[in-house]
Amino acid sequence: MRRKPKGNFCEIKRHRIITPSICSICERIGFCKSFREYYMKNKRFYRNFVYDLAEKFPDKYQVEVVFMATKETFIQIVDKKTGNIEKIISMETLNALPIEEKIKFARGKILYQVAYQIEPIVKIEMKKKPIIEEMVFEKEETVEKPAPKKKEIAKPKKTTSKAKK
């Protein structure tokens, strides 16, 4: 059985709330189901939070892009003449449409079935700076400890016992 790493735990479980400040720094952001649902509803608010934070503190933070894959069956509608993607519709939405609209999608277009939809997510990360100079601390206090006393171990005396006859 495979164990989960101890250092990677979700802050959502600890705080029991989903907020951009918690999720934007998480390492598991691309795999988190709770964040995926939150992101689908609040894309603009989340992105604005991350961009504002990066603009306020450009020397501290940098923006990183992570891709989040959504596993669901989608239909990609591509124009035959231009080769551009016109729409991406989930299979459930397409099945719910009336036949006339389905025929409209198929005229002059190619339909592709796609299993994943990849969406970019911005994530905030602390800037990493290499240490160029040697680190020198001001005054190091060294306390001399007395040498530990050596304890002598008493050796057992050898006794010869004679067996009685």
Are 39 and 45 contacting, i.e. CB atoms less than 8 angstroms apart?
Answer: no
Instruction: Write out pLDDT tens, residues 116-149.
Output: 878 888 888 877 777 788 877 776 666 566 666 6
- So what's the pLDDT on residue 11? 58
The pLDDT assigned to 36 comes to: 79
Q: Which amino acid is at 155?
A: K
pLDDT digits (tens, 9 = 90+) for 30-57: 777 777 778 888 888 888 888 888 888 8
pLDDT (0 to 100) of residue 97: 87
At 159 the pLDDT is: 66
Distance CA 71, CA 89 (A): 13
Query: Which residue in this structure is represented by tokens 């719910």?
Result: 96
Q: What is the pTM of this model?
A: 0.50
- Higher pLDDT among residues 147 and 103, named by residue: 103
CA 9 to chain centre: 10
105 vs 162 pLDDT, higher one: 105
What is the model's pLDDT at position 2?
55
Residue 164 — pLDDT band, cuts 50, 70, 90? low
What does the domain layout of the chain look like in residue ranges?
11-126
More confident residue, 101 or 18: 101
Residue whose token pair is 């934007």:
24
- pLDDT value at position 144? 61
Q: Tell me, what's the pLDDT at 148?
A: 65
**Percentage with pLDDT > 70 across the chain:** 70
